[in-house]
Structure 1
Amino acid sequence: MLILGYDDVRQALEGRELDVLAAVRTAYLRHERGSTAVPHSVFLRFPEDERNRIIALPAYLGGEQPVAGVKWISSFPGNLQLGLERASAAIILNSMRTGRPEALLEGSVISARRTAAGAALAAATLRAQIPDTGVSLIGCGVINRQVLRFLRAALPQLETVTLFDLDGDRAAAFARRCAEEEPELKTGIADRVEEALGAHPLVCLATTAAVPHLGTEHCRPGGLVLHLSLRDLLPQAVLGAVNVVDDADHVCRAATSLHLAEQQVGHREFIAGTLGGILAQDRPYQRDGRRVTVFSPFGLGILDLAVADLVRRAAEAGGHGTSVAGFLAGGAG
């Protein structure tokens, strides 16, 4: 059994944004072509506790080097007050020959980067007539920090960032980090969420919202909202938008904004298509110039597998991680 901890994973992914983007793109295309298996995620919730949860995402990603496994990820928002990250995760990869677990990886880094890469891929694919040069990041946590990193790789023309967070100190800390690490970016902080929504055509929502609370009336016509947290937008806003998802069956459940919209109208005709389907067309896509486009990815387990396999191969090539003999019964591993 190969065990890759937090530092091992970070080292394997350092400076490899384009590789992660390519892996995520390939995973979406394979899913579109039917060479994946993605059972519904299992949500573990707790009596009298509506805030915290742990989710299991099993998946199979086919191709020349198929991979199977599961991500076990928790979301405990109260961790932020304890000085801890909100999410923590572990990923197990299994042998496709014997089914035996082969690798155990720290999963929060992989999860954040595959989420951010999917968002950046959507931003680069769902193009506006005039290229996006600015982005509003609503929610100044780990996910949007990675989103900015991957947007810069996918959209080299990006030059302006507007931030908003209900916690002003978090927004200020995010801005300071941007100034230190990416001084060429023009970074500002919005006083109100409505200001952030209207600051740029490109908006990314990555919050811990449990129920919808935002409309899109303050967004720019022709804009793109990367709806990563899935529960920010009111059902009416979803129904009025051009909706692109990763997988309709996955995203229309667990009280997401799209699930609530489906319950309201009794159908899914408001979903225009999938990102994988648009990628498979292999021709430029242009956003509707009059309506807001919303990308709502449930976050398929195949993306975690794609990036985890990238990490495992890099670690094996570099001799990183800890190999534990005798982890399983009946022989090495």
Structure 2
Amino acid sequence: MTSITRNLPWFIRDLGISIVGKECYTSLIENLDIGDVKCIKYSISKGLGIGIVLGGSIMKVPQILLITRAQSARGLSLPAYILETLSYAITLLYAYRNEFPFSTYGENLFLTIQNILITLLIILYAPRAAAADKTANAVIASLAILVFFLACSLVPLPILAFLQLTTLPLSLFSKLPQISQNYRAQSTGQLSAFAVLSQVAGCTARLFTTATEVGDSLVAAGFALALVLNLVLGAQLWQYWGRDDLEAPAAEKEKLKEARAAVNTTAAAVPAYKPEPAAWQRAATPPPSSPSLGGRKWARKVD
């Protein structure tokens, strides 16, 4: 069997080495050494990392589709998404500048981009804001994001490490507004179940890959806290599944009120239908007296 594994095509060999490294490729693929626990753990970590990166590239797409199809971001907390986007962006820049393997942080690139888009959609679909205000707020938010990325790319690494430490409270406060809003409304609104469950799975896997490949306690602590908070959101999705939002926007309530009033007005304007009595139900009406009959009154003969 080893005679086959040691003579695989060059493109398969190069791909394997690029993923798990030459040492582990030689041990696990060429020599088929299934007792090499270190390389097995490393290979599992790499596989999970690649899967998380690929999953992260589409994780928030269902959430984006829910918002655009409903033309509403009801149930989504703007402060929560702003703080979560900051947390993703800081982790992305921290890992990139420390030259961590892309498989250990790559999903943060895609999640940051998707979160920025969701944040802008929440601003654009704000229920009680004028169109001009929505556009202005979206432009301001975009510029703020650009300035933030430029600043984090230029600050010294010790300051960036401090910012990475701040992702712990950022993760906490990014989920608390959403958790609180769900609790008040007794509903999760347009919150995507796929996104929440994917984040739970991703954070669990990231704890393993971080411990295996990076060993950075700051990054691991961030993923651990994010896992706990996403589990709370998952529990709320299960608890409030199928419930309507009790805190629907005032405009929606007003429309519903007007619709009901219109129905009641229409019902009042239409006269009630009264069926004609049947022939046997009609009372006999005597004809008027006639002078030609001598003023004699008509009387019904009773048998």
Could you say which TM-score interval applies, normalised by the shorter chain? Answer: under 0.3
**Greater helix proportion:** 2
Q: Name the larger-Rg structure.
A: 2
TM-score by length of 2: 0.27
**Greater strand proportion:** 1
TM-score by length of 1: 0.25
